[in-house]
Structure 1
């Protein structure tokens, strides 16, 4: 039984990665697929490529890397990729042993101007001794990589013009033909029968006469070299790579259609079946499956189906499953140890790891649990995609707050740029999401989730009090101290009632959890700040009022929110 597993990955100065980032992967007891998530251009593909190179799936030579792979395209930023693998020891065909236990570390030699060489150095798990058993070892283990962006390429089984196999399906079929004793034993008899059958079909035919003419002329062209020309089937091993998968729909076994003639969605479902078949036939081996955005071409329902029926069963069988995704339907938010979250730091211009907690982490408690499922359904589940795949999140109190702030942001940006389309798309351009939390309790929940995943946030709430007590609240470090203070106990000369105390406690918790620079309170409420005097919360009436406002003041858009929105750099963007 062969077994291969990734324990740790190190990346530095490779493409969007600058400072060395270390990724830890759960041990073999953790039977969940591992998702690599992040918004566009955050570095997910770069991370997956680093894995493919370091395990030897993609071959490394001097020509493999160019200056484009060096961070910021600077020759002094030499890429570093290292991986720690755990493997079984397998017997090679020549009697030697294959062993990938330990580190594979990229070594690039440069002369100061250009690349002179590149290779991966293998050492034992201590990093001290060379591991000579790693050379050519990967073929004795099972690694499957599928890029779902090129799904039609992944079902092609023919060799390339260079004689290589490019798709995961072709490689797997080739390996089965090479190693299956049943097929190997039938090779000689198959060659004999097909040769006889071909000769019988061609005998006395125009095609045979045509082939003989070719032989005579070819022999003459080679200065009368007595050559033999045969027109027949490919080699035994290659015949299976020339075959086609054909599909008969609705039980029709007569009119079959080649699989590549179908659309991408249909082919994706076929690839699912191939992956499932590989897993079902690899009952002893423990494989690595690497997938690039498997949700491509799949509707939400089928994304969730793929996760539950393909990815999870693979991992549950002991295979290591690692994949990149943009879909919140393909992650388990109730078990965030299975999530690696990347971001691109816009200030330092590099990929950073915002979240990677393995099961070895002490005192780990998952942020989303079944006991707060009610809050999850109300606030997290509808906004999960925005939370996980945004660079920043603005949390507002309710629908009218969302209406108001979206309009205010758009108007402010339009006043600066005069560009209507850009002002509408500015938050998308900055990868900033704005979403309602529908209550202060759920606001605290969403806030903790943002902090859990390392997501930058800004919280906007109603103070629900006529007097601004924010600075006074911020002076207290602990809730106990606050609850013994005059601020908490008295409202002027009167004893403060329970409702008022509850409001103070909630605001204090929000303030302390968010931090004073990351929160804004509308006093007493949003409607009061924008001058909406009616007791109803009619959205159309509020919208009509917003159209009359010339400028939005700091009591609605404070300076820390302006900074969060990065409004100071709008002119630079527009001028570019």
Structure 2
């Protein structure tokens, strides 16, 4: 077994988003991506709940927010003890067998009844507390006060926080959790920075110094030999601790700098935390500070295990796509099989749309700005519906080969149309696209490449011009300078096509501003029409 201690897997039943969910983790980096409300945060919260014994002393009313809503609905439709919602979470751990208290977490008290390390959490109705069963069925209300919360190790023994198997930190950079997280964060850093004897010494010296120094203040004297004094029992060091950077407390830094400092402290310690959870670390960060944070994370000592929930393409791709888990409804899809060269490419391609691709149901990949601007209106012209209504996303490859995007999307069941130029078929692009389409069909991938089949129709602007020659000549004549040569890459394509090629984005904006597509004055090239018909099926 490895000497590194980490979380191997999780099983969740009945907790928040998940009726049932399980996934295995990487031992070093785990990046969760997905739409809002699919459960990225639920996984982080489940880990925290089990390791940290969250809600142990909370009011039972909080359970309403923890139960899966479908289970609550099922109970209300058919109220019975058997249908009362229940939560079960199981963390399987990898621990050093010779480590302190390792045997305390080893056993077969788990779902599979196999010997391994781990902790389980159960939240269920306790009949022994004497709830009125008849009343329960009559009013369909969940009796939260009659629920018990139980943490056990796989040895079958109650889980004692003093024997916590992993040093652990949760970084929440959301605005909602900002102020409540300061004290939690500082407590955890303090708790894991010193031995028990060192912490006792610090606390004792603090209390003694406070009492002595306060007693030296003349103004605390009262009449009749009475004085103000410090009651050491009321002074809890952890409640007033803060972390300072350049003389400013962490909570008084801006939100972005606070996030950066927290990350740096958590990951640059010599005795690192075994597990660090990061909730949307991109919040409040400028582009420059985002790069700094990514650098801190990527250069950390690899003895710690990271869990990052993010909406940032930059974070997910720069920290290696093979560490990404795409969370969908009740499932986690690992990208660990992405080819190494593709993953490496995306670590360097800063302006990529990887996450947008992954989170889209249907996609049209285009090469440049003109297609990106005009295809949505051509789509509406052809289908009578907007790309938004049809859940179609247009993604500009921005110089990135469409094949790299398709490699990421393999086995995701996404319908992806590629609009690309044949570049005069100088390297057999037309034949190559046909071969790829046949291969995708055989592999049951919903990918298809569309391009003009005539080598003379070599790029988008040329195809658009030849499909709308009369109207575009009239439209362009009011815009271009007749004395200009309008050469493109050293070749003279004439004033009309030359203008379109040299003013791609501006030309597209002019078309949109004049509503040429919405008024049906422009028709799309045939291969674009075929692509839209195919992707909208």
Question: For the structure 1 residues 232 and 564, does the alpha-carbon distance in structure 2 shift closer, same or farther, using more than 3 Å as the test?
Answer: farther
Distance of 2:395 and 2:415 partners within structure 1:
11
> 5 Å matches for 1:64-143?
64-66=62-64, 69-72=67-70, 73-74=72-73, 75=75, 76=83, 78-88=86-96, 98-99=104-105, 102-110=117-125, 113=140, 114=142, 116-120=146-150, 122=152, 124=154, 130-132=155-157, 134-137=159-162, 139=164, 141-143=166-168
Structure 2 equivalent of residue 302 of structure 1: 289
> 5 Å matches for 1:224-235?
231-232=229-230, 234-235=232-233
Distance of 2:236 and 2:198 partners within structure 1:
16
Matched residue of 1:34: which SS?
A: strand
Alpha-carbon offset, residue 144 of structure 1: 0.6
Distance of 1:504 and 1:131 partners within structure 2:
64
Structure 2 equivalent of residue 479 of structure 1: none
On the 8 A contact 1:342/1:354 being kept in 2, the answer is yes
Structure 1 equivalent of residue 257 of structure 2: 266
Question: For the structure 1 residues 190 and 8, does the alpha-carbon distance in structure 2 shift closer, same or farther, using more than 3 Å as the test?
Answer: closer
On the 8 A contact 1:289/1:322 being kept in 2, the answer is yes
On the 8 A contact 2:413/2:446 being kept in 1, the answer is no
Question: For the structure 1 residues 260 and 465, does the alpha-carbon distance in structure 2 shift closer, same or farther, using more than 3 Å as the test?
Answer: closer
On the 8 A contact 1:147/1:293 being kept in 2, the answer is yes
Structure 1 equivalent of residue 80 of structure 2: none
Matched, 1:395 2:365: yes
Matched, 1:48 2:35: no
Q: Report 1 or 2 for greater relative contact order, CA contacts < 8 Å, sequence distance ≥ 6.
A: 1
Structure 1 equivalent of residue 332 of structure 2: 353
Distance of 2:293 and 2:426 partners within structure 1:
48
Question: For the structure 1 residues 305 and 506, does the alpha-carbon distance in structure 2 shift closer, same or farther, using more than 3 Å as the test?
Answer: same
Structure 2 equivalent of residue 170 of structure 1: 187
Question: For the structure 1 residues 435 and 198, does the alpha-carbon distance in structure 2 shift closer, same or farther, using more than 3 Å as the test?
Answer: closer
Distance of 2:525 and 2:421 partners within structure 1:
15
Distance of 1:555 and 1:320 partners within structure 2:
51
Alpha-carbon offset, residue 240 of structure 1: 5.6
On the 8 A contact 2:92/2:117 being kept in 1, the answer is yes
- Which TM-score applies when normalising by structure 2? 0.68
Distance of 1:381 and 1:443 partners within structure 2:
14
Structure 2 equivalent of residue 446 of structure 1: 405
> 5 Å matches for 1:457-476?
457-461=415-419
Alpha-carbon offset, residue 326 of structure 1: 1.5
Distance of 1:531 and 1:97 partners within structure 2:
75
Structure 1 equivalent of residue 111 of structure 2: none
Give a deviation string over 1:232-274, Cα, whole Å, max 9, x none. Answer: 16449723642454555xxxxxxx5544333212322332343
Structure 2 equivalent of residue 508 of structure 1: 435
CA-based RMSD of the aligned residues comes to 4.5
Matched residue of 2:54: which SS?
A: coil
> 5 Å matches for 1:23-38?
23-27=23-27, 32-38=28-34
Matched residue of 2:331: which SS?
A: strand
Alpha-carbon offset, residue 322 of structure 1: 1.0
Structure 2 equivalent of residue 290 of structure 1: 277
Give a deviation string over 1:425-460, Cα, whole Å, max 9, x none. Answer: x63x87743123479x923332122226x2724213
Distance of 1:14 and 1:327 partners within structure 2:
26
Instruction: Select 2:450's aligned residue among 515, 521, 526.
Output: 521
Matched residue of 1:289: which SS?
A: strand
Question: For the structure 1 residues 369 and 323, does the alpha-carbon distance in structure 2 shift closer, same or farther, using more than 3 Å as the test?
Answer: closer
Matched residue of 1:318: which SS?
A: coil
Structure 1 equivalent of residue 215 of structure 2: 199
Distance of 1:233 and 1:430 partners within structure 2:
67
Instruction: Select 1:181's aligned residue among 197, 201, 216.
Output: 197
Give a deviation string over 1:340-365, Cα, whole Å, max 9, x none. Answer: 1123xxxxxx34323354xxx8xx74
- Which TM-score applies when normalising by structure 1? 0.64
Give a deviation string over 1:39-73, Cα, whole Å, max 9, x none. Answer: 33332111211222233442457555327631434
Alpha-carbon offset, residue 560 of structure 1: 8.2
Give a deviation string over 1:136-189, Cα, whole Å, max 9, x none. Answer: 3554641111111147426644xxxxxxxxx12123325657x45345346666
Distance of 1:67 and 1:260 partners within structure 2:
28
Question: For the structure 1 residues 356 and 448, does the alpha-carbon distance in structure 2 shift closer, same or farther, using more than 3 Å as the test?
Answer: closer
